[in-house]
Structures are given as structure tokens and as C-alpha cells.
């Protein structure tokens, strides 16, 4: 059981480049989300999805796009990378949404924008 799988683990981008962080879960979870983690700022929600075909914005959505064409996959797209997007990105999933659902995190993707 792989859980939540993120790729790539490390990436260096030049300012203005675009890229996609991949996320897949094999637990048939309805709810998926993307967080970014910056020193001293905890985890901040970028986008989330409560099911296939449904996405919504979190706290810090600017500069990022998501889609949810299948239950399993939830890719995060950086349209035109900026140095402010240098961060560690975590994909997460839970069985459903609503209070009380444990969130399972992927191992993280370390992104540097130069």
C-alpha cells in the first residue's frame, strides 16, 4: 500500500518556468489537498478537492492551478515560477472531507526557484 506518492522529490526551476508536481493516492480517498511549508509559517493550504471534478482554493492559491480528473490524482501546476514559490510542498489526502478525518501526507517535494 503506497499511500500518498509525490513526484519529483527535488526540483530546481528558473524564474518564469512552469512545472507540475504530481500526486497520487491509492486509498480511494475523496479529499485531496496541497500545502506549502515555509520556515516558521507552518503548513498553508494552497488548493483542495472534495472529489473528482471538484476543486477549490485554499489560503494561498495565487500562482498555482490544480485539476482532479480522477479520484487518484491531484497534480499541482506552477504556471510561471517565482522565487517566492521556493518551498516544500506536501500533497495530502483523507477518506472524505468534514470534521474528524485524518489527513495522510506525502513525503514532500522540495522546490527551489532561482
Partner 1 sequence: GQQVMQIPQYQHVQEGEDFTTYCNSSTTLSNIQWYKQRPGGHPVFLIQLVKSGEVKKQKRLTFQFGEAKKNSSLHITATQTTDVGTYFCAGPNNAGNMLTFGGGTRLMVKP
One of 11, 17, 27, 44 touching partner 1 (CB under 8 A): 44
One of 9, 18, 26, 56 touching partner 1 (CB under 8 A): 56
C-beta of 26 vs 56, nearer to partner 1: 56
Strands (DSSP E) contained in 19-99 are: 19-25, 31-37, 43-51, 54-57, 64-66, 76-78, 87-94
Q: Does 26 interact with partner 1 (rule: CB under 8 A)? A: no
C-alpha span between 33 and 93 (Å, rounded): 6
Q: Does 42 interact with partner 1 (rule: CB under 8 A)? A: yes
Q: Does 48 interact with partner 1 (rule: CB under 8 A)? A: yes
Q: Does 41 interact with partner 1 (rule: CB under 8 A)? A: yes
Count residues binding partner 1 (CB under 8 A). Answer: 26
Cα of first residue to Cα of last residue in the chain, in angstroms, is 36
Length of the chain: 114
C-beta of 17 vs 105, nearer to partner 1: 105
Q: Is the dihedral of CA 67, 101, 94, 90 positive or negative?
A: positive
Q: Does 97 interact with partner 1 (rule: CB under 8 A)? A: yes
One of 27, 45, 52, 82 touching partner 1 (CB under 8 A): 45
C-alpha span between 109 and 114 (Å, rounded): 16
Amino acid at each position: 500500500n503506497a499511500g500518498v506518492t509525490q513526484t519529483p522529490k527535488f526540483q530546481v526551476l528558473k524564474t518564469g518556468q512552469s512545472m507540475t508536481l504530481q500526486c497520487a493516492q491509492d486509498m480511494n480517498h475523496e479529499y485531496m489537498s496541497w500545502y506549502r511549508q515555509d520556515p516558521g509559517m507552518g503548513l498553508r493550504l494552497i488548493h483542495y478537492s472534495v472529489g473528482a471534478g471538484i476543486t477549490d482554493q485554499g489560503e494561498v492559491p495565487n500562482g498555482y492551478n490544480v485539476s482532479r480528473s480522477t479520484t487518484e490524482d491531484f497534480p499541482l501546476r506552477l504556471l510561471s515560477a517565482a522565487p517566492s514559490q521556493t518551498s516544500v510542498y506536501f500533497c495530502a489526502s483523507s477518506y472524505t472531507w468534514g470534521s474528524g478525518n485524518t489527513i495522510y501526507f506525502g513525503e514532500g517535494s522540495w522546490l527551489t526557484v532561482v
